[in-house]
Amino acid sequence: MKKSFLSQDAAIIASTYAKADVDFVKGKGVWLFDSKGKAYLDFAGGLAVNALGHSHPAITKAIKKQSEKFLHISNLYPNLPQIELAKKMLSLTKFSKAFFCNSGTEANEAAIKFARKYFFNKGEGNRVEIIAFVNSFHGRTYGALSATGQEKLKTGFGEMLAGFKHVEWNNAEELKKAVGPNTAAIILEPIAAEGGILMPSKDFIKTINELQKQKGCLIIADEIQAGFGRSGAISCSKLFGLKADITTWAKAIGGGLPLGMALINAKIAECLKPGDHGTTFGGNPAACAAGLAVLEIISKPKFLANVKERSTQLKAGLEALAKKHKFLGEIRGEGLLLGIETKKPVADLVVACRKQGLIVLRAGTNVLRFLPPLIITKSDVKKALEKLDAALLGYFLNYTKGFN
């Protein structure tokens, strides 16, 4: 079959991503359009980045306005959009200071460094251990990759950073045994998204909070996918009652431009001095202006209420589909970070959905994941469920053999 024009040319891009055979040329709201004008309902949201969908006027206006002043001045000088975005995020989350970078992996690098530096400054330089979880995902650079709990992502890349331990997700007993006098921090996603949308149990969250109190270790909450409105709240870790010392943010916070952030509490902020960490582009003025435009909209109670309502609607629709299509399993997630287990290869279902004009994602090996723009309406969800139903029918026909 003839490949789309972009897919043919994409062969010159290093093959670290298995690129889909589709040539998107435009996006508007919750829709993407290919070169032939076919419309796709975008329930992947650029991997949880496009909270306001595509070409939202508030974002394009903010970027244009800032680009007419300056795009970059470096972090040697204060820049207003960065300060405004930090102020608003800090007031919403009750953290003390913000560190800006460009991506999620960098936000986690910063968090790991800050946790270790905090104990170093206290005279506990041996306290460098980071406890993370099996199936977690924190990024691809060496610190964040060392924290990531997926062996397949580390294979072939030599030694990971020393001092990282991985504990089974939701295993409070194993966690209690793992945290010791040399533990600097426990790092976790409030929802282990890439690992299969794994929800934390109440007991697990309680144990993490207790360990922080009893053992004096820090909690790093990775809000990169679940945070910034996606869970129906600005902070997903707070929603679940986690008492984080550091939270890390990226994806949606730049409104589609690269931006990352670590929010830190006062005691960690105190241990940082000029030169301790940095990045040339971090907190770029245009990215911060775009992020602030998004935050002004998503932080409104009415906006977050819509996220919860659409979540309930989508979950109910998925439950109905799970009753109809027996090869579907458990539905998991919070807000508009939702997934449904499938008993057959989910990659094929992602392609079947795309053929029906619905863009969805995979999580883990057998979970179909939905990360729609947070602006979706009742009718968008209805359309998505219809497209999914049609895709499931074709998927079922392909896999009739072997179902039980």
Ligand X SMILES: Cc1ncc(COP(=O)(O)O)c(C=O)c1O
Min CB(248)–ligand X separation in Å: 7
Shortest spacing between CB 107 and ligand X, in angstroms:
7
Q: Which is nearer to ligand X, 11 or 18 (CB)?
A: 18
Residues contacting residue 332 through CB under 8 Å, at least 6 positions apart = 196, 197, 198, 199, 338, 339, 340, 341, 367
Packed helices 80-93 and 285-298: angle between N→C axes, nearest 10 degrees: 40
- Tokens 């299969």 — which residue? 196
**Per the structure block, which two tokens stand in for 297?**
């909209």
**Dist. CA 284–CA 70, nearest whole Å:** 10
**CB nearer to ligand X: pick between 46 and 232:** 46
By C-beta, is 106 or 341 nearer to ligand X? 106
Cα–Cα distance measured from residue 364 to residue 270, given in angstroms and rounded to the nearest whole number: 39
Nearer to ligand X, 45 or 53 (CB): 45
Min dist. Cβ of residue 204 to ligand X (A):
17
Q: Measure CA of the first residue to CA of the last residue in the chain; give whole Å.
A: 32
* Gap between the Cα atoms of 318 and 40, Å rounded: 19
Comparing CB distances to ligand X, the nearer of 192 and 392 is 192
- In this complex, which beta carbon is closest to ligand X, that of residue 183 or of residue 247? 247
Complete DSSP assignment for 78-109: --HHHHHHHHHHHHHHT-SEEEEESSHHHHHH
Nearer to ligand X, 139 or 255 (CB): 139
**Residue placing its CB nearer to ligand X in the complex, 50 or 356:** 50
> Is 397 exposed, middle or buried (CB count within 10 Å of its CB: 0-12, 13-18, 19+)?
exposed
Q: Least separation, in Å, of the C-beta of 227 and ligand X?
A: 9
How far is the C-alpha of 85 from the C-alpha of 113, rounded, in Å? Answer: 23
Minimum distance from residue 141 beta carbon to ligand X (Å):
8
DSSP for residue 161: P
Binding interface with ligand X (CB under 6 A): 103-105, 108, 137-139, 189, 193-194, 222, 224-225, 250
**CB of residue 388 to ligand X, shortest distance in Å:** 23
Residue, CB closest to ligand X: 104
Least distance (Å) between residue 138 CB and ligand X: 5
Question: Of 250, 284, 248, 271, nearest to 67 (Cα)?
Answer: 284
Q: Identify the residue whose tokens are 């330089």.
A: 125
- In the complex, least distance from residue 87 CB atom to ligand X, rounded to whole angstroms: 23
